[in-house]
Structure 1
Amino acid sequence: MSDVLRREIPNIDIWAYGTGDYVAMAALANYTQSEQKIVTNQNLQKLEPQFEKYHGTEICEQQPTCVKGSDKPLDLALVVDASESLDHLFSDQKKFLVDRVLGNINIHPEAVRVALITYSGQAFVHFKFNSFLYGNNTSVQGFVKNIRSIKGTTATNVALMDAFDLLTSKDPSTGIREGVPKMALVLTDGHSHRSPKDMAEKMRAAGIIMIAVSVTPRPLVDEAELRLIAGSEKRAFTPPNLHEFESEFMKYVGFGCDGIELPPDAKPQVRGATDVKCTEDSMSIVVRTQRALQGLMYAHMYHDEPECMMKKTDNNREIQMTFMEGKCGLVKTPSADGRGYHFNITVILQFHPLIITRADQGLDMSCFVPSAVPRQELDQAILKNAADTQCNYRLHRYSPGQCVALDAKVGETLYHRWECDSPPEYNYLVHDCFVQSEKHTQQILDSNGCEVDQHFLETPNYSRFKDYPDDAYVFQEMSVFKFPGDGDLIFHCRISLCNMKDPNAPCNQSIPPKCPKKVPVLPVRQKRDVSAEQWMSAEWRSKQIRKRQIELKNRSRRQIVETKQGYYMTLQVETRTLNVLLSESIRPRDSVKYCDIS
């Protein structure tokens, strides 16, 4: 029979496991054609390693990927002009700093360490590279959002002196690291009281990378001063070339690559979406990869619809696909000012034709099409969008705005992100959240949206409703956990919409939720009410874990459930399955290595 298998199935590899104390080695060798492919109780340790190359996680560790969100080390001094001349644009400057600087780095003691200096007539060092309070993206972003402009002149040279002292310090208490690249990123409109030229030259001579940025438009910005600070036109950015900022900045923060030591000129394997083009009824994308995609590209949650999925089997590293309005989850919304339409879609790159692996990426893509929006459509947009609101729930690495996580190790940091395409006056409450494995179900947020146990998940952060209403979502940081004996987790929540401008809506006093501080307790199974028990029934749980492909084909794209009292509408959302790793044996012992994208 073994000979028949070899004739019918090319490249088949036959192994044998001999049980018991006495094994007929000659017979087994006849099947395998090699005693090296026979496992017995005497060499049982050889069995499990034979399956490693067929296991998704191990495949990805053997072919590690470079993903957005750098683990490349950098000591970064942020030098922010807070003088009165920038007062009218200070919020734009902070938004740039949060979205396009902090949003592209991974702040961590082993990755990017950040120090913050603001200045006007004097300089203020808010925190240094060793700050425990400001040692991650969330805390630094929160601090930056709350800084204020300062009365006084513009003393850029004084701020650069402080930055130079920090970046060249030999005092280990500052958190500066020997052998790690140093950068000073200066946000200013120029117009310094005293030229920063000499100080900037001194910093560059010491090997410090200098980048100068201004959000101030011409003719109010002193572009010559920005070039003096940066020492090069390609590292001086003003509104006309601000779109090129990431292409320069990302050279120094790069991409993190798990499990491999890469040469200095190494390239990431996944470049992501490089071209996005929209017409009035479609979005076309071109994604380029560093290695050929032998797998799938599809719209998130629409992998079972042929028009929303492309299968790749060739060696071309460029993938092109067009999504039409009203299909594949492509969202088209009129801008609030009536000048055009925003398009948005999430696309998944799956590098294996059958299984989801660590190499896969979720790409969130948007574009804007200028077009006169009819007044009638604008008037109807609020009602239409409120009723047709769609929400999603994802787990992200590095920050809420970075790549989607498909697996994680216990203790690693992930970010929960809940987002709805609701009208501007509608905020939403995340509540009744559960984490579920095959054997366990645990509530993590109660009906008011408050944490049940901080060891699972703290009460979500709603600050973006106020700080960034045009790009609002709810998020929270989490340290990854798992249940004993279970490897996969799914998170479920309900999201309830509330019209914050309706004075008669009782819900507008409940967002964000007002939660009492809880005393940490050991996690216990919560007693649920009847409706929740029905929702989390054994049959339902079995379908979620064991028959997800069939269920996705049959269920509605939006899961509208019974509306929470006092709210406009309630939807049910869930994450993709998260594979939680416990054993270090399937992860490389070496720390994360790095590569540039230049």
Structure 2
Amino acid sequence: MNWRFSMLLLLLLCFDGPGIKCQEEEETLPRNEVLGEPTVSCAADAIYVKLRTKSTFLGHVDVKYTPDKSCFQSLVTNNQIEILIPHEECMVPRRRSLHPTGVILEVSLSVSFHPEFTTVDDRIFNMQCFHQKKSNGSSSSLAIGSPQPPPTDTKGPSCSYEVLTSPEGSPAGRLALGQNVYHSWQCQNVYESCIMIESCQLVGGEETHEVIDSSGCSKHESIMPQLEYHNRTHVGASVKVFGVSHTSIVYFACQVRLHPQLPTGECPKPKCDLMRRKRDESSSQFPSIDVRSQNLEISQLINVTSSTESQIPSESVIQHTCPDIHVESAPAEEASESKLIEEKKICADFRSVLIVSILLTMALIIITTTIVVLIVRRQKYEIASMS
């Protein structure tokens, strides 16, 4: 009866006792958000970003697509976040602009409001710094917040290079090996000129790997096919995602050469036949524009993106199981049949060895048991004789 009285007293305290909590309240964090747009300051060697939040910031910030997650510095004071992103340490992507002359640096900043998880409230800011060189030799910097484009001169050519999820898709970010993507080069304000893509490199960390040579031809057609020239200002290629082994963050950098049209009105194209692959030295006199893709995060995991098209896995695991039943198949080549016979022979040999091993084990167990029984009986007989 004592335990029943104790339970009744506890229930009375839960219902009537002031200040006593019988059910643990769920801990919830207040909803937070970024107020306004971030303040971006462009220095010669770093990008400084300042944000303000609605309430005290308890989450974390991250510079996306950088190979070193500790390359930047962050300072959080109540509802203010300050981030310093050095160009060199964080490998901030950059590309050259001809009109106006200068360099564009791009960075993506992720703001997560939960200290451990990513949630729907998180924000990603894409920011650009444009460093322009003036005619007197001095330089000036201009910060450009997302999603405004960098300043351009409508009178001069401008080109872009993007890796898209499909020919009509959006820019890619995080990808898996073997996934289908579309590399797209486009230019504007080239007037009567034609574009030709040259000297493309895959950049991962401190290493570069050439994929398109100076004549505009692919050096590794098994992973980077020859480019398709759709018109004077648009070049593309459907590619299965590939990367490098030592880093998951990569980008592509190329040169876009502006060629004049041929007398026939057609555009010159790279001659990538094995017997004719030779760079036209006269093309070096034509102007070129340096372009680079966005940063890409390549996952090493196998990812099947289409049920109708087989994907090439990053790591092939070969498995073989012995057939339990015989399945008649269509006639095949003699080599395939001999290979199948050999596999069945190996399986049969394996089964024979397995059966023999089991029989030997059982025989050993029986012999051991018999010897033990005989020894025990002998000891009992000797004890009985002595008594």
Q: Which has the higher strand share?
A: 2
Q: Which has the higher helix share?
A: 1
What TM-score comes out, normalization by structure 1 length? Answer: 0.26
Larger CA Rg, structure 1 vs 2:
2
What TM-score comes out, normalization by structure 2 length? Answer: 0.39
